[in-house]
């Protein structure tokens, strides 16, 4: 380990270690935070523990290949990632406007990574040192490994392998994969000799024959899915059937004369390996070279991950596609060791901000029948109903939570990851423990909608599940003598949601007294099933046509309905109600969403908005800057200035 305790980030640190070269250079679009919530830290630590020399190249200037040369020629490969998020989602709002901030950058500054960061990062690596293998990974590469619909250019794009020219794409959680690649390359093998690994995608040469046999599924070609929405739906449906690592087949997709090969996903890692990954010597801090706060680190620095994966299978969420559908949990002892180390840190204030993962209460939940799990093709273990084979026992989690708050130096242990309500309400003991000890005053939950048809397309529980959970939460909070509130998250403009569905949701919010401060606008992320719905206007499973809000105006109306109570939304809500022929919800009645006359704040807000739009011409088009003539996302161009969220 370096003198600072961090992985090496400068040539001087390399020299101080006595190295003449590095084995692997990690290129990342995020600031370097040495915490187990960040992939570059985990993968770097795993390789370091295996004896490899690792350097971190964080947020390099992509305009030339010079930053890629700073550590010299890596002996083994460049490992490239856009960061913890897809770079396009990181850059742009659902209305394709430049975001005001970047949570993964110092000071929250925007412009420190390019659009589609994986592509220029890979290209610069090849320019810097010809012949050095380039291995791409991370969420962006993982979700773009096949031909996919790209929301920002509004077209179907080929596999990221086509434009990046990466030797391999590692998809999913890559600790085991990247370690094995490093070992093989160290032993003199080539990236081509790593193609048998699980969790990788690669391009065959034009003259290379694709794999054959019953272990492979051929998807409609790139050209077919580009030209036919029917074939796009077929490809999406087939790809998502092959997500169970115990029976998934490999995927093939032709791109012209070449073929993209995607091997089956990685098998779940054991509890012992999870403890190993999360027990490596992270400093849990941002690199000392940063002088500004990094918002993402501020949010998670006092959190502890206890599991990964999700069997929910929500169609708008990428967690299952990236982390896997099988829950992989740490041991109680491993989690407690990390908590004890946190408690002994002089900078720790005694409050654990979150103990959870993608979902807070799926810890150690698995299929109880391995023989059925081995053949199951179900994409969600909890939709349309909770599978009878799913183990839903909260006892291990309750025991962990109790022991966590007993550690000397820990005052509070909160849950902030979000609760899977349909599971939590099955355990009175968990609900009692949660409401008495682990809520900071507000608890995040994600009912997402109220309309049954939309919820079904989302693969979310019925709405009465949320109401039942809310009642149990209120009862538990009252018994604990605490004033605690739910913070429900809802999505506007999800495929299947029209104005009538959003009005149903607004009426529910009015009657329940919820006034959401934050709302989510649906963004079609690559590879998600909901994205296939958005692009084609159809349900991938039934082929049935569904409503889709694609125009900017329609999306604004749906968003306004979620916050009908804000005076500045009065005109949009009124227009939506008139369009839907629901004038009964305009007026002074107790069920009315808005008054009959606009409040002064509504008129002022409309005037201010009109003035801003008149003076702001840069984003008058819905097309993001990277898709317009003139090229990429650059921090000094006018389009990168801070502006109001769309």
Going by pLDDT thresholds of 50, 70 and 90, the confidence category of residue 642 is very low
Residue with tokens 């998934």: 248
pLDDT at 624: 56
pLDDT at 421 over 50: yes
Write down the pLDDT at residue 609: 75
Tokens of 33: 């935070």
| Long-range own/partner contacts, residues 127-130 (CB < 8 A, 24 or more apart) | 127/65, 127/68, 128/65, 128/66, 128/68, 128/69, 129/68, 129/69, 129/73, 129/74
Q: Look-up: residue for tokens 């916050």?
A: 563
Choose the weakest-confidence range: 161-165, 414-418, 454-458, 531-535. 414-418
d(CA 492, CA 502): 7
Q: How far apart are CA 29 and CA 111, in angstroms?
A: 10
Omega cis (within 30) before 379: no
pLDDT for residue 475: 97
Residue 621 in this model has a pLDDT that exceeds 60: no
Rounded to an integer, what distance in angstroms lies between the CA atom of residue 377 and that of residue 387?
12
Name the CATH superfamily for 1-199+622-646: Cobalamin-binding domain (3.40.50.280)
- 371 pLDDT more than 50: yes
- Percentage of residues in the chain with pLDDT exceeding 90? 88
CA 569 to chain centre: 29
pLDDT digits (tens, 9 = 90+) for 582-608: 999 999 988 899 999 998 888 887 887
Query: Which numeric CATH code is attached to 302-545?
Result: 3.30.750.210
DSSP 474-525: HHHHHHTT---EEEEEEEES-TT--HHHHHHHHHHHHHHT---S--EE----
pLDDT at 619 over 90: no
Q: Name residue, tokens 């149903």.
A: 504
Tokens encoding 5: 């305790």
Using 50, 70 and 90 to split pLDDT, how confident is the model at 395?
very high
pLDDT score of 636: 45
Structure tokens at 595: 């008054």
Taking only Cα atoms into account, the Rg of the chain, rounded to an integer number of angstroms, comes to 25
317 in Cβ contact with 310 (< 8 Å): yes
Question: pLDDT tens digits for 301-318?
Answer: 999 999 999 999 999 998
How many CB atoms within 10 Å of residue 221? Answer: 19
pLDDT digits (tens, 9 = 90+) for 563-580: 999 999 999 999 999 999
Q: Give the span between the Cα atoms of 303 and 283, in whole angstroms.
A: 14
pLDDT at 280 over 90: yes
Beta bridge partners of 8: 55
Query: What does the DSSP 8-state code read for residue 419?
Result: B
Mean local confidence (pLDDT), 504-528? 93
Locate the domains of the chain by residue range. 1-199+622-646, 203-265, 302-545
- Token pair, residue 256, equals 């012209």
Q: Shortest CA distance to 576 belongs to which of 598, 603, 594? A: 594
Tell me, what's the pLDDT at 638?
47
Q: What is the mean pLDDT of the chain?
A: 92
- What is the reported pLDDT for 623? 52
Q: Is the pLDDT of residue 639 over 90?
A: no
Given a contact cutoff of 8 angstroms between Cβ atoms, the answer to whether 413 and 355 are in contact is yes
- Among 290, 293, 287, 286, smallest CA distance to 107 is for 293
**How many other C-beta atoms lie within 10 A of the C-beta of residue 614?**
8
Parallel, antiparallel or unpaired: strands 520-521 and 442-448: unpaired
Of 35 and 626, which is predicted with more confidence? Answer: 35
């Amino acid at each position: 380990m370096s003198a600072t305790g961090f992985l090496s980030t400068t040539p001087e640190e390399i020299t101080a270690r006595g190295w003449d070269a590095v084995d692997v250079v990690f290129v990342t679009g995020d600031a370097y935070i040495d915490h187990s919530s960040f992939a570059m830290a985990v993968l770097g630590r795993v390789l370091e523990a295996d004896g490899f020399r690792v350097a971190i190249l964080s947020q390099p200037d992509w305009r030339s290949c010079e930053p890629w040369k700073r550590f010299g020629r890596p002996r083994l490969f460049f490992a490239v990632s856009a960061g913890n998020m897809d770079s396009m989602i990181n850059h742009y709002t659902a209305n394709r406007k430049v975001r005001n901030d970047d949570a993964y950058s110092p000071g929250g500054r925007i412009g420190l990574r390019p659009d589609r960061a994986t592509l220029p990062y890979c290209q610069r690596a090849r320019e810097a040192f010809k012949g050095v293998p380039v291995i791409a990974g991370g969420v962006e590469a993982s979700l773009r490994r096949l031909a996919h619909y790209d929301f920002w250019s509004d077209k179907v794009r080929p596999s990221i392998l086509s434009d990046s020219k990466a030797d391999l794409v590692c998809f999913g959680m890559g600790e085991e994969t990247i370690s094995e690649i490093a070992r093989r390359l160290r032993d003199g093998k080539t990236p081509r000799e790593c193609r048998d690994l699980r969790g990788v995608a690669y391009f065959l040469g034009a003259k290379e024959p694709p794999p054959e046999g019953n272990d492979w599924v051929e998807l409609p070609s790139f050209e077919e899915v580009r030209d036919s929405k029917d074939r796009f739906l077929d490809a999406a449906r087939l790809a998502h059937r092959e997500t169970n690592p115990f029976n998934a087949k490999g995927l093939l997709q032709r791109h012209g004369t070449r073929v993209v090969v995607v091997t089956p996903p990685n098998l779940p890692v054991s509890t012992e390996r999870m403890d190993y990954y999360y027990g490596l010597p992270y400093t849990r801090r941002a690199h000392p070279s940063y002088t500004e706060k990094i918002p993402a680190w501020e949010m998670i620095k006092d959190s502890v991950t206890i599991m990964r994966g999700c069997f929910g299978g929500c169609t708008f969420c990428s967690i299952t596609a990236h982390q896997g559908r099988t829950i992989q949990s740490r041991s109680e002892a491993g989690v407690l060791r990390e908590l004890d180390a946190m408690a002994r840190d002089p900078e720790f204030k005694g409050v654990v901000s979150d103990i959870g993962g993608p979902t807070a209460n799926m810890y150690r939940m698995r299929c109880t029948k391995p023989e059925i799990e081995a053949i199951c093709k179900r994409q969600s273990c909890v939709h349309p109903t909770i599978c009878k084979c799913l183990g839903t026992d909260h006892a291990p989690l309750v025991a962990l939570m109790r022991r966590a708050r007993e550690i000397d130096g820990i005052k509070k242990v909160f849950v902030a990851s979000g609760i899977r309500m349909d599971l939590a309400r099955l355990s009175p003991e968990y609900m009692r423990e949660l409401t008495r000890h682990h809520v900071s005053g507000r608890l995040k939950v994600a009912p997402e909608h109220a309309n049954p048809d939309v919820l079904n397309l989302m693969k979310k529980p019925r709405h009465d599940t949320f109401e039942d959970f809310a009642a149990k939460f209120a009862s538990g909070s009252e018994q604990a003598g605490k004033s605690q509130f739910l913070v429900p998250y809802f999505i506007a403009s999800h495929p299947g949601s029209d104005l009538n569905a959003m009005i149903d949701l607004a009426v529910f919010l009015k009657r329940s007294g919820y006034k959401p401060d934050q709302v989510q606008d649906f963004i079609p992320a690559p590879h998600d099933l909901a994205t296939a719905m958005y692009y084609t206007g159809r349900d991938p499973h039934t082929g049935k046509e569904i409503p889709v809000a694609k125009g900017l105006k329609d999306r604004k109306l749906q968003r306004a309905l979620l916050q009908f109570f804000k005076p500045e939304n009065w005109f949009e809500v009124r227009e939506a109600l008139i369009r839907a022929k629901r004038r009964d919800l305009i007026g002074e009645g107790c069920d009315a969403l808005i008054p009959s006359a606009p409040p002064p704040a509504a008129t002022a807000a409309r005037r201010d908005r009109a003035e801003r739009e008149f003076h702001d011409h840069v984003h008058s088009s819905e097309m993001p800057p990277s898709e317009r003539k003139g090229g990429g996302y650059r921090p000094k161009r006018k389009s990168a200035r801070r502006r109001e969220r769309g």
